[in-house]
Structure 1
């Protein structure tokens, strides 16, 4: 698709909306309607200057808008491209259902299959650390008490989408596959339940913010892309917390979807 196929609108000089924002609107619409596809190069500055009859700075301001929204990314010496995005993963309320663990699938793998994406995990690091104060409060242990931390990064079809660190009481983790890179079929929840600590419920706190520099690098986030922070606490049938998971998720890779009873 050439520039003429994309640049099929003209700016309205009588509009109250700045010219560079009108140009950004046209490009944004082309991306959202698929006329500019992921990985495709945007029209060049020269093409846009000629089509719109504007100065180079005006074009650069328009493109900067798309970059700030995480829609476009510049590649040195090559131009500006539509940012490739991972498959959108539905964060559903049933993702920790026991049927998934019985089927030998951890939650991330089970949900990835619903969008037809290949799930991978890397950057696995297992350590024993003092519990951070907010984690200690949720686990009902003393602040600074030693717990097992399992940190990892998840990807869909090669796109990093989330990092997660699980904090588990040492008595539930030491001497089990929870201390190994691969905790086995069903993930760490299956290993916890094997010890007689049947899971009963999960409590999640979700917030949004802009990523730290390290998070943006780990998740390959473009400028202007926010993250979800989800902190989940897992409880057994006796109401005892057995795990706290602190997850950072790419804001453009997830849709929160919950089914709530009306009674």
Structure 2
């Protein structure tokens, strides 16, 4: 039996300052409040949301902590420049050309800012169940893990955990704790495993402790989690990557044509 919702059930139970921040956050992400634009004054926000000065200030503090706006006491609060970035996965899947850096770095740089990566770990590991299933591993099976954080303008933007079949990775530069020229897509192509198909599964999740710390988050706003499976010839999976980025700072853009 379905119980109809009451008015109380439909009520937004978040505190008022969280609701104020949520509405302003949406206007920033949609472009209604563009980079560099001033937010409405405290007086205007108080009237709009029927809120006290303290409530408005708490909402603005949240947005400042989330790196969406900047401002000093007594000064106008403005939307930070280049905050929301649109990432286009298809643009950096292919191997880098000779002499070029890892394509994520190159594509991120095109959007402005300094992009770099920091390799945190290279080890044999038991992957999460969804990664193990994508790689076709048996229960308790291991894969090579390469874990890194990607930065733009020295701010962490993405935690990346990539897993590779050991029969492919052993004896290659992937097993070493050092960066690979052109990135692993380039090395895989050189080894005879060029990317032919990539499948993404994207979900929004509450950040784990690891993600919260690595991305220097300030609240439990969802992260965008992407599980990417890269297939080579004969639909063989050669790389499975789990990527997490702050959901309030980034969006994904997929481009395709009808078959």
**TM, length-normalised to structure 2:** 0.73
Which residue is equivalent to 1:72? 64
CA distance in structure 1 between the partners assigned to 2:137 and 2:22 by the alignment: 52
Which residue is equivalent to 1:217? 213
Aligned residue pairs: how many?
229
Report the alpha carbon displacement of residue 86 of structure 1 after superposing the two structures with TM.
6.2
Report the alpha carbon displacement of residue 141 of structure 1 after superposing the two structures with TM.
1.6
**CA 1:187–1:66 in 2, change beyond 3 Å: closer, same or farther?**
same
Report the alpha carbon displacement of residue 156 of structure 1 after superposing the two structures with TM.
0.3
Report the alpha carbon displacement of residue 26 of structure 1 after superposing the two structures with TM.
11
Which residue is equivalent to 1:235? 231
**CA 1:22–1:140 in 2, change beyond 3 Å: closer, same or farther?**
closer
Which residue is equivalent to 1:10? none
Per mean C-alpha deviation after superposition, the further-off stretch among 253-262 and 90-99 is: 90-99
Q: 5 Å matches for 1:19-34?
A: 32=33, 34=36
**CA 1:200–1:60 in 2, change beyond 3 Å: closer, same or farther?**
same
Report the alpha carbon displacement of residue 220 of structure 1 after superposing the two structures with TM.
1.8
Listed as ranges, the gaps of 5+ residues in structure 1 are 1-18
2:52 is aligned, of 45, 58, 73, to 58
Which residue is equivalent to 1:122? 118
**CA 1:101–1:163 in 2, change beyond 3 Å: closer, same or farther?**
farther
**CA 1:27–1:229 in 2, change beyond 3 Å: closer, same or farther?**
closer
Q: Secondary structure of 1:72's match?
A: helix
| Structure number with bigger Rg | 1
The answer to whether the 8 Å contact 2:33/2:79 transfers is no
Listed as ranges, the gaps of 5+ residues in structure 2 are 1-15, 67-71
The answer to whether the 8 Å contact 1:119/1:155 transfers is yes
Q: Any idea what the Cα deviations from partners look like across 1:8-45, whole Å, max 9, x if unmatched?
A: xxxxxxxxxxx9799879987899353549xxxx99xx
Q: What stretches of structure 1 move > 4 A for 4+ residues in a row?
A: 19-31, 78-87
Which residue is equivalent to 1:9? none
Which residue is equivalent to 1:4? none
**TM, length-normalised to structure 1:** 0.72
